[in-house]
Structure 1
């Protein structure tokens, strides 16, 4: 490695470590955010404290059928091992994103990646908003990202090997088995669609060769064993799980706009094609390079592209095309397109003009400055309004002996930060009765505060803009 290459190598490592440090600051400083992150944080807490390791639970009487348990197992285990705090819950997501980066390194030779390009791709993954947020949020998406990325790399290694390694064949089918307990059929779809898209753009000989290398009976049997090892006991001990998870979460969720059968959240109705706007927001500063590379390569219609570039474009475009006609989507559905896009960006960097490169360097520098300010100052201040952590801490520190109630039904941070001891009130009549009880604490929507304090029955002792902590009058 030349002196210039060594300097560039160390420069990228320093940048990556800096971005990781910023992410760790946020992982330790901000509360679990309602609703998604606090929901999965509470799911991990209940699973760990109640020993619900077969099927994670939202409460003692509510098993969680919406997702397989892998991400919850990671979060719950980390919570038990490293302390009952937000950082421990978020740590597995950071590790999963870094594991995805290691998958790219494992495939570097078959992908014709230099070490500098691998580091560049890792930097792109961590600085794209979808990557930065996912690398340290209590969600299932980072776990799925790791599974899909390893599958993407192993599939390509098999494609490019004259004699495929048995370790790669076993590895692929093990990853597919793990995918079943990461996010189920959705994970297989996100792995299979790029393969199909690549085959559409390839010759018959390439397709037959790829299938022959993928088809490996010992690996297939191992895959079946991994899948059945969890799904059979899950259905036996929790009848109805398969119907809800397979039919509801994988078909009705996407085919029925505003699906009403969601047991754990709210179906998201979006405009057709919204996934592309989500993608633009997901990659942010790297969007100009995406547009540049699309114009330069003209994927799907350019028959002169080499096989490797076709494969990477298939991995980028397949999930985006798949969700184009779906209305029930969220922006994290773009995440599995990120690693392949990061590789394309790393490879395209040396081909762009000097002026364009300078513009991109300014954007990157601006992102680093903005991310530093946001991570140290702005985000910690703003996120307290999306959680009741401070209100619960105030209640426990200033009035530890008083009963605490909440007029709310969808704030998962209430359950997490009170260890499930919060008493929820479902109707306003019960709130009126509660105001008659002296020395009682109530967390309620801030919009109700004037109404609840109008007659002097309660006073506000803390607020976070969206919620208030009230105390009824003394005896």
Structure 2
């Protein structure tokens, strides 16, 4: 009965109302936009934010997964989120498998605790790299647990490095952070396992590095970008403006871990309260040998967390992979307390989680790309094959909701690309877009309302006319552009 309950709860949380909410920009829209461009262009090697401009901020595995799902299930939000839901299921299954080794009497509870924690339950509905990363890291740690506490066969070592390779192809070096815990435990506890077997390292190199080698060979400037901006700058500088203050780690990760572990936070705190006594025992080799489970969970939680705290780029979902060891610690604490498992807590909590999804689908949010698509359709009758944002925030999610290309241009002059510009701020300048845009009445332009007169003057200086369509929407003007002397297609009313 308990097993059936766990399966039903996890499947419900994975798939209930998965497509009810529109894509939220920027993250969900950006990842889906790149994936849709892969699908339409047929170029699965180079991620593109438009058909002409590459997008290199993340390795391609998330884009591949979303693009494959869109190819199978169609251009809709449900299909875009399927890979994340499957990653959530894989993570939950791996937590259960790890618990069968570390705390077998609470294995099912470990799985349900993980699946119902607030952070994983919310993140399972977001198209980002974070849950795929969490799934691969948890898979790698399951392989390590089997390597140390199970059969110890070479196949587990191969699986461990395969999972880390997939994590590396998902988010780069951060995918290897659980290795800190593995190395720590291997040096702290004897006998040691041959984690760094040559076969495993070969598997990792073959799977994780080939894409980087290919794209860097084609564009050598990418090497400096990957190592400089995406590794050094994210770690050592506040270049990305992501809570880089000295206290940013506490402001971001403290609430994320405390609230994200609900409704099991109290049990986790109970495990944390007992940690100093364990640490005192770990000073001696025999203490570490007799207490490897808590040692592993502490290292798996706090060594990556330390790196996240030191790094200057900090976002809540960076710590999503840490909820696997948190759930296992909750199970360990539950076993220490004894008594029946606290299933009753789920009676109110699971409906609450589902209710949050329904509420999120009704929120009037400026980030909701579906609402933007509806507003554009109301103002623009007929086909739309391209949406051009002029010095305005990009709404990448329109790529899916309108099935139209999305571009980002500026009124300022953009230097011609020379092959060394990686992830330019704008795709091109508006003048270049005018030359390239063979207006067939299917292109829509958007700018901020306060820039509307500047846009009109800019277009007039280039023998084009900008004509607004309907009233402004969320402070932005939706308009068409036509050459002077041509009848403006589908003209609306100027604001």
TM-score > 0.5, shorter chain as reference: yes
- Aligned match of 2:124: 135
CA-to-aligned-CA distance 1:123-149 (integer Å, 9 cap, x gap)? 222222221122232111111111111
For residues 79 and 344 of structure 2, the distance between their equivalents in structure 1, rounded to whole angstroms, comes to 34
For residues 425 and 71 of structure 1, the distance between their equivalents in structure 2, rounded to whole angstroms, comes to 26
Conservation of the 8 A alpha-carbon contact between 1:154 and 1:168: yes
Is the counterpart of residue 395 in structure 1 residue 376 in structure 2?
yes
Give the TM-score, by structure 1 length.
0.80
Cα RMSD for the two superposed structures:
3.6
Question: How far off its partner does 1:313 sit?
Answer: 2.0
- Aligned match of 1:110: 101
Is the counterpart of residue 417 in structure 1 residue 404 in structure 2?
no
For residues 154 and 335 of structure 1, the distance between their equivalents in structure 2, rounded to whole angstroms, comes to 19
Is the counterpart of residue 152 in structure 1 residue 138 in structure 2?
no
For residues 18 and 309 of structure 1, the distance between their equivalents in structure 2, rounded to whole angstroms, comes to 31
For residues 213 and 79 of structure 2, the distance between their equivalents in structure 1, rounded to whole angstroms, comes to 30
Residues 466, 40 of structure 1: alpha-carbon distance in 2 compared, 3 angstrom cutoff: farther
For residues 90 and 178 of structure 1, the distance between their equivalents in structure 2, rounded to whole angstroms, comes to 19
**What's the secondary structure of 2:112's corresponding residue?**
helix
Conservation of the 8 A alpha-carbon contact between 1:385 and 1:466: no
For residues 47 and 419 of structure 1, the distance between their equivalents in structure 2, rounded to whole angstroms, comes to 13
For residues 102 and 180 of structure 2, the distance between their equivalents in structure 1, rounded to whole angstroms, comes to 20
CA-to-aligned-CA distance 1:54-90 (integer Å, 9 cap, x gap)? 1211112222221111111001111111111111111
Question: How far off its partner does 1:439 sit?
Answer: 13
For residues 388 and 154 of structure 2, the distance between their equivalents in structure 1, rounded to whole angstroms, comes to 58
Residues 146, 459 of structure 1: alpha-carbon distance in 2 compared, 3 angstrom cutoff: closer
Question: How far off its partner does 1:344 sit?
Answer: 1.8
**What's the secondary structure of 2:298's corresponding residue?**
helix
Is the counterpart of residue 374 in structure 1 residue 349 in structure 2?
no
Residues 467, 227 of structure 1: alpha-carbon distance in 2 compared, 3 angstrom cutoff: same
Comparing 9-18 with 139-148, which one deviates more in the overlay? 9-18
For residues 77 and 50 of structure 1, the distance between their equivalents in structure 2, rounded to whole angstroms, comes to 13
- Aligned match of 1:96: 87
For residues 86 and 77 of structure 1, the distance between their equivalents in structure 2, rounded to whole angstroms, comes to 13
Conservation of the 8 A alpha-carbon contact between 1:36 and 1:139: yes
For residues 82 and 88 of structure 2, the distance between their equivalents in structure 1, rounded to whole angstroms, comes to 10
- Aligned match of 1:426: 410
Conservation of the 8 A alpha-carbon contact between 2:70 and 2:79: yes
Residues 333, 422 of structure 1: alpha-carbon distance in 2 compared, 3 angstrom cutoff: closer
CA-to-aligned-CA distance 1:220-244 (integer Å, 9 cap, x gap)? 2232222343222121223222221
For residues 284 and 238 of structure 1, the distance between their equivalents in structure 2, rounded to whole angstroms, comes to 46
Note the residue ranges of structure 2 that are not aligned, 5 or more in a row: 413-428, 435-440, 456-466, 480-490
Structural mapping, 1:168-179, within 5 Å = 168-179=156-167
CA-to-aligned-CA distance 1:189-215 (integer Å, 9 cap, x gap)? x12121244356x24x34xx13xx213
**What's the secondary structure of 1:385's corresponding residue?**
coil
- Aligned match of 1:50: 41
Question: How far off its partner does 1:442 sit?
Answer: 6.0
Is the counterpart of residue 316 in structure 1 residue 301 in structure 2?
yes
Question: How far off its partner does 1:307 sit?
Answer: 0.6
- Aligned match of 1:124: 113
Conservation of the 8 A alpha-carbon contact between 1:93 and 1:142: yes
For residues 336 and 471 of structure 2, the distance between their equivalents in structure 1, rounded to whole angstroms, comes to 60
Conservation of the 8 A alpha-carbon contact between 2:23 and 2:77: yes
Residues 447, 348 of structure 1: alpha-carbon distance in 2 compared, 3 angstrom cutoff: farther
For residues 320 and 383 of structure 2, the distance between their equivalents in structure 1, rounded to whole angstroms, comes to 45
For residues 191 and 440 of structure 1, the distance between their equivalents in structure 2, rounded to whole angstroms, comes to 47
Is the counterpart of residue 473 in structure 1 residue 493 in structure 2?
yes
- Aligned match of 2:30: 39
Is the counterpart of residue 332 in structure 1 residue 324 in structure 2?
no
2:173 corresponds to which of 152, 175, 185:
185
For residues 165 and 39 of structure 1, the distance between their equivalents in structure 2, rounded to whole angstroms, comes to 41
Is the counterpart of residue 62 in structure 1 residue 53 in structure 2?
yes
Is the counterpart of residue 344 in structure 1 residue 325 in structure 2?
no
Is the counterpart of residue 249 in structure 1 residue 230 in structure 2?
yes
Residues 128, 406 of structure 1: alpha-carbon distance in 2 compared, 3 angstrom cutoff: same
Is the counterpart of residue 224 in structure 1 residue 209 in structure 2?
no
1:258 corresponds to which of 239, 247, 250:
239
Comparing 134-143 with 267-276, which one deviates more in the overlay? 267-276
Conservation of the 8 A alpha-carbon contact between 1:126 and 1:135: no
For residues 31 and 8 of structure 2, the distance between their equivalents in structure 1, rounded to whole angstroms, comes to 32
Conservation of the 8 A alpha-carbon contact between 1:180 and 1:227: yes
Is the counterpart of residue 273 in structure 1 residue 262 in structure 2?
no
Comparing 86-95 with 241-250, which one deviates more in the overlay? 241-250
- Aligned match of 1:3: none
For residues 205 and 304 of structure 2, the distance between their equivalents in structure 1, rounded to whole angstroms, comes to 25
Residues 383, 89 of structure 1: alpha-carbon distance in 2 compared, 3 angstrom cutoff: farther
For residues 458 and 46 of structure 1, the distance between their equivalents in structure 2, rounded to whole angstroms, comes to 28
Conservation of the 8 A alpha-carbon contact between 1:272 and 1:325: no
CA-to-aligned-CA distance 1:430-460 (integer Å, 9 cap, x gap)? 99xx9xxx999765558889x99xxxx9675
